[in-house]
Amino acid sequence: MKVTSVLKRDYIIGDLEATDKEGAIKEILTVFPPEVLPVESPIAFKVLMEREMLGSTGIGDGVAIPHGTIGGLEEILLACGRSKKGIFFSSCDGKPVYLIFLMLAPENYAGQHLKLLAKISKMLRDRSFRSSLIEAATVDEMYDVIAEKDDQF
């Protein structure tokens, strides 16, 4: 599955205003229109925070990938937020997070959900890719950087 098949340009926030994990997750959830995310955002937020309680999705190197499954979704939803200042996310390396890829999946999509998580994680291990995303001037540039890397996998 291609990352760009689920990540739309409209689902990217180039400069998050949030200063903490909870605020960032809430802010990123706002990119999904109600017809796409058919549950109230507090439910989606609760699912994501319950996952965070199991262990931070801050994977290190300035990256977090909060994710969860929700009944009622028809497809995987993926959004991206970038913080220019950095957000404390209880990451495994203790450093701030600058890039957040938030994923919500239907309850019956476990296999595809996990494959996409693995792909995103693998893409984000590339230091030059992370740097290009952080340094991109616009949301369109961020999307293009993601699309180019996506085509390499």
SS3 2: coil
Considering 11, 13, 67, 89, which one is annotated as catalytic? 67
3-state secondary structure 4-60: HHCEEEEEEECCCCCCEHHHHHHHHHCCCCCCCCCCCHHHHHHHHHHHHHHCCCEEE
Strands 67-70 and 58-60: unpaired
CA distances from 83 to 38, 67, 79, 101, 106 (A): 27, 18, 14, 12, 27
CA distance 134 to 92: 20
92, amino acid identity: C
Our answer to whether residue 67 is catalytic in this structure is: yes
Cβ atoms of 117 and 69 closer than 8 Å? no
Q: Just list the catalytic residues.
A: 67
